[in-house]
Amino acid sequence: MRTNKSWVSGDFILVGFSDQPRLERTLFIIVLISYLLTLVENTIIILVSSIDPKLKTPMYFFLMHLSLVDICFTTSIVPQLLWNLQGPAKTITAWGCTVQLYISLALGSTECVLLAVMAFDRYAAVCKPLHYATVMNRQLCWALAGVSWLSGVGNALIQGTITLRLPRCGHRWLHHFFCEVPSMIKLACVDIRANEVQLFVASLVLLLLPLALILTSYGHIAKAVMRIKSAQAWHRALGTCGSHLTVVTLFYGSITAIYIQPNSSYAQTHGKFISLFYTVMTPTLNPLIYTLRNKDVNGALGRLFFRDPGVCKQSRGPAFCVFMTRGS
């Protein structure tokens, strides 16, 4: 498909938060700190999940993919955002906007499907514990991860190309801080109702369908736990699924408000702040949610950084070592 030439000539102006200069200075600090934490936290998750033999399980395999998605997703947006927040220039080149649109859309879509895959993994762990290793075998894990990535790339190619082919008649002012489909289609100088319907349908498929699969998985999990009628089983199920449910709530709660109702007054008024949350804050919070009170990860970190317990106690003190290695 041929891209409209008007999209690749001239820069776009990302209005972002330029109407609130004092807020920009505060946001610059918050976004910078969050981005650095995102890089460090998710890199550590990928590192320990790849190296530590005790984390060679489907759960941490998918968590490693989620961390990779979060790093790439945030990196496709935040550097440009920081550049625009720190100075008067609010521009992005047409090619830069195109690349940002495709990459961010692909990775955001991938995360939607990946969260559904992780819910299925939790379902298999709780409802099929005796057959878990057989069900979630290596081949299936790689196939599910591949489907997640391919569905994201496919959606980006379709949605992004349709958006870029819309004539914009010289419109350059994008009322957002990054190139996102709901905001970019508003630059078109033709009737976009068909595009809005198409965006809504695509959102139903890649947002609500995975969410429905997640809710179905947790419905079966709840039934299985209630049949056992054991407080210990409830505690174990909460420990197994609580982190994933929290991540799903944060991610879907924010992104649904943008893509399911792109023309609502709520989405237009608060859209930039909602987008800021799921593009900047959620990738920072995900590793903390998954690793907080997670004995497996804490133990892996202890084994990775303090392989010799004697050296650990000598350099950091026994209390620190007990904290770092409590999960081993």
pLDDT at 268: 52
pLDDT at 275: 84
pLDDT at 319: 39
Q: Are residues 254 and 318 in the same domain?
A: no
What does the block give as tokens for 36? 């650095």
Whole-number Å distance between alpha carbons of 180 and 311: 50
For residue 2, how many other CB atoms are within 10 A of its CB?
Answer: 7
Q: Are residues 308 and 217 in the same domain?
A: no
Q: Are residues 200 and 220 in the same domain?
A: yes
**Do 53 and 31 touch, CB atoms closer than 8 A?**
no
Q: Are residues 104 and 228 in the same domain?
A: yes
Which single residue is written with the structure tokens 């047409």? 94
Whole-number Å distance between alpha carbons of 310 and 299: 16
Phi, psi for 91 (deg, rounded to 5): -100, 160
Helical residues (DSSP H) of 8-137, grouped into ranges: 21-51, 58-75, 78-85, 94-127, 132-135
CATH number of the domain at 197, please. 1.20.1070.10
User: Among 279, 261, 199, 297, which residue's Cα sits nearest to residue 34?
Assistant: 279
pLDDT at 262: 54
Cα-Cα-Cα-Cα dihedral of 135, 141, 142, 145, to 10°?
Answer: 140
Whole-number Å distance between alpha carbons of 137 and 217: 19
**Do 165 and 195 touch, CB atoms closer than 8 A?**
no
Q: Are residues 91 and 237 in the same domain?
A: yes
pLDDT in tens, the chain (328 residues): 444 444 444 688 888 887 777 888 899 999 999 999 999 999 999 988 888 888 888 988 999 999 999 999 999 999 999 988 887 778 888 899 999 999 999 999 999 999 999 999 999 988 888 888 899 999 999 999 999 999 999 999 988 898 888 887 777 888 888 888 888 888 888 887 887 788 778 878 888 889 899 999 988 888 887 777 666 666 766 766 888 888 888 888 888 777 766 554 444 556 788 888 888 999 999 888 887 667 777 777 777 776 544 444 444 443 334 333 333 3
Q: Are residues 305 and 202 in the same domain?
A: no
| Residue span of the structural domain in which 23 resides | 5-292
**Do 259 and 210 touch, CB atoms closer than 8 A?**
no
Per the structure, the count of domains in the chain is 2
Helices 58-75, 138-164: crossing angle, 10 deg rounding: 20
pLDDT at 32: 95
What does the block give as tokens for 204? 């139903």
**Do 112 and 253 touch, CB atoms closer than 8 A?**
no
Q: Are residues 311 and 228 in the same domain?
A: no
pLDDT at 117: 95
How far is Cα of residue 242 from the mean position of the Cα atoms in its chain? 17
Amino acid at 24: E
pLDDT at 105: 92
User: Among 64, 58, 74, which residue's Cα sits nearest to residue 134?
Assistant: 58
**Do 208 and 257 touch, CB atoms closer than 8 A?**
no
Q: Are residues 128 and 214 in the same domain?
A: yes
Q: Are residues 152 and 301 in the same domain?
A: no
Q: Are residues 312 and 194 in the same domain?
A: no
pLDDT at 292: 65
pLDDT at 327: 38
Q: Are residues 316 and 258 in the same domain?
A: no
Q: Are residues 116 and 260 in the same domain?
A: yes
Phi, psi for 279 (deg, rounded to 5): -95, -25
In eight-state DSSP terms, residue 11 is E
Q: Please name the helix (run of DSSP H) or strand (run of DSSP E) that holds residue 192, with its range, or none.
A: none
